[in-house]
Amino acid sequence: MKNILDAKFMTEAIRTLSNMYRLGWDERNGGNLSVLLDTAEVEEYLDTENVIREIPFSFDATALAGKIFLVTGTGKYFKNVEYDPAANLGIIRIKECGNIAELLWGYTDGGRFTSELPAHLMSHIARLECDESHRVVLHTHPTYTIAMTLAHSLDEREFTRTLWQMQTESIVVFPEGVAVLPWMVCGTNEIGVATAEKLRGARLCVWGEHGIYGVGRDLDEAFGLIETVEKAAQLYMIAASVGIKNKITDDELRRLAATFGLDYRRDYLG
Ligand code: 13P
Ligand code: ZN
């Protein structure tokens, strides 16, 4: 067996989580990550017959039965992951019954997966239905994105349009726009259902007064989406505080979309 700490999926996840902590997005235990792993690849590193323990949960994930995920632990700090990956991360397989996670590696201090497992697994189910190459669900608390949910309308069209108006890259990176949920109690099946539903139509879902979800075919895609929203939100918060005098117009956004051949939310422009 090869050393799992050398696996590409592991080194990439650890590097991303450390970066996110240093960006100031993931205070304390804020944020969580789940990555759908390739079973054959996992078998190079782990005896998948060896189930360390079973951890039940209270929603139906039979659509993911047999699938293996790398998942951050609940209450764990992103800043600590690189120093003790096995205590802060876990590798779980969804059992046939659909409401038990079989622990194959990690959570060595007796811990368990993130409290946001409903939003993660329900979002994996929803995204796999739209895109069989989907792999990653990433949740974080980026400062300016949250600030923007305090200062700006949460209407999805208005929120997206403002992000598009702040910098050229926004509409190019997320032409389908950003979904937005109002504040809800986190860690529940309800917010999981609502998030997964939103992520059918977009790869980004903002949680009012809380944070954001990004999904993708790999970590770079999910991270890059969130990073681009956060940059636009930062520009908005800085510029709005002194008064916005210029922004990219709807006509300019249309020209940009035509040049880049974007399949964008045309109804979000005036
Ligand atoms: P966990 O520590 O359970 O992952 O929760 C962190 C968080 O961001 C809740 O939304
Ligand atoms: Zn959170």
Atom from ligand 1 closest to the CA of residue 207: 10
Domain end, chosen from 114, 136, 165, is at: 114
Atom from ligand 1 closest to the CA of residue 29: 2
* Full domain range(s) for residue 79: 1-114
> Is any atom of ligand 1 closer than 6 Å to the C-beta of 116?
yes
How much is the pLDDT for 215? Answer: 99
CATH number of the domain within which 262 lies: 3.40.225.10
Which entry of 116, 156, 221, 227 is annotated as an active-site residue?
A: 116
Q: Is 27 a catalytic residue?
A: no
Atom from ligand 1 closest to the CA of residue 115: 3
Domain end, chosen from 58, 86, 114, is at: 114
One domain, residues 80 and 161: no
Q: Following DSSP, what letter does each residue of the chain receive, concatenated? A: ---GGGSHHHHHHHHHHHHHHHTT---TT--EEEEEEPHHHHHTTS-TT---EEEE-SS--GGGTT-EEEEEBTT--HHHHTT-HHHHEEEEEE-TTSSEEEEEEE-TTS--B-TTHHHHHHHHHHHHHH-TT--EEEEE--HHHHHHHHHS---HHHHHHHHHHH-THHHHH-TT--EEE----TTSHHHHHHHHHHTTT-SEEEETTTEEEEEESSHHHHHHHHHHHHHHHHHHHHHHHH-------HHHHHHHHHHHT----GGG--
Q: How many domains does the chain have?
A: 2
> Is any atom of ligand 1 closer than 6 Å to the C-beta of 30?
yes
One domain, residues 42 and 105: yes
* Share of residues in the chain with pLDDT > 70 (%): 100
Ligand 1 mean position, distance from CA 4 (Å): 25
One domain, residues 224 and 122: yes
Confidence of residue 176 (pLDDT cuts 50, 70, 90): very high
| Across 237-255, average pLDDT | 98
- Could you tell me the pTM of the whole model? 0.98
Q: For residue range 19-43, what is the model confidence (pLDDT) as tens digits?
A: 999 999 999 999 999 999 999 999 9
Confidence of residue 47 (pLDDT cuts 50, 70, 90): very high
Domain end, chosen from 80, 114, 148, is at: 114
One domain, residues 147 and 52: no
Contact 144, 163 (CB under 8 A): no
One domain, residues 109 and 25: yes
One domain, residues 176 and 94: no
Q: For residue range 82-124, what is the model confidence (pLDDT) as tens digits?
A: 999 999 999 999 999 999 999 999 999 999 999 999 999 999 9
Which of 27, 139, 183, 207 is the best mutation target for the ligand 1 pocket, counting ligand atoms within 8 Å of the beta carbon and taking the most? 139
One domain, residues 133 and 264: yes
> Is any atom of ligand 1 closer than 6 Å to the C-beta of 29?
yes
One domain, residues 212 and 107: no
One domain, residues 228 and 255: yes
One domain, residues 269 and 185: yes
One domain, residues 71 and 144: no
User: Which bound ligand lies closest to the C-alpha atom of 77?
Assistant: 1
Ligand 1 mean position, distance from CA 236 (Å): 27
One domain, residues 94 and 198: no
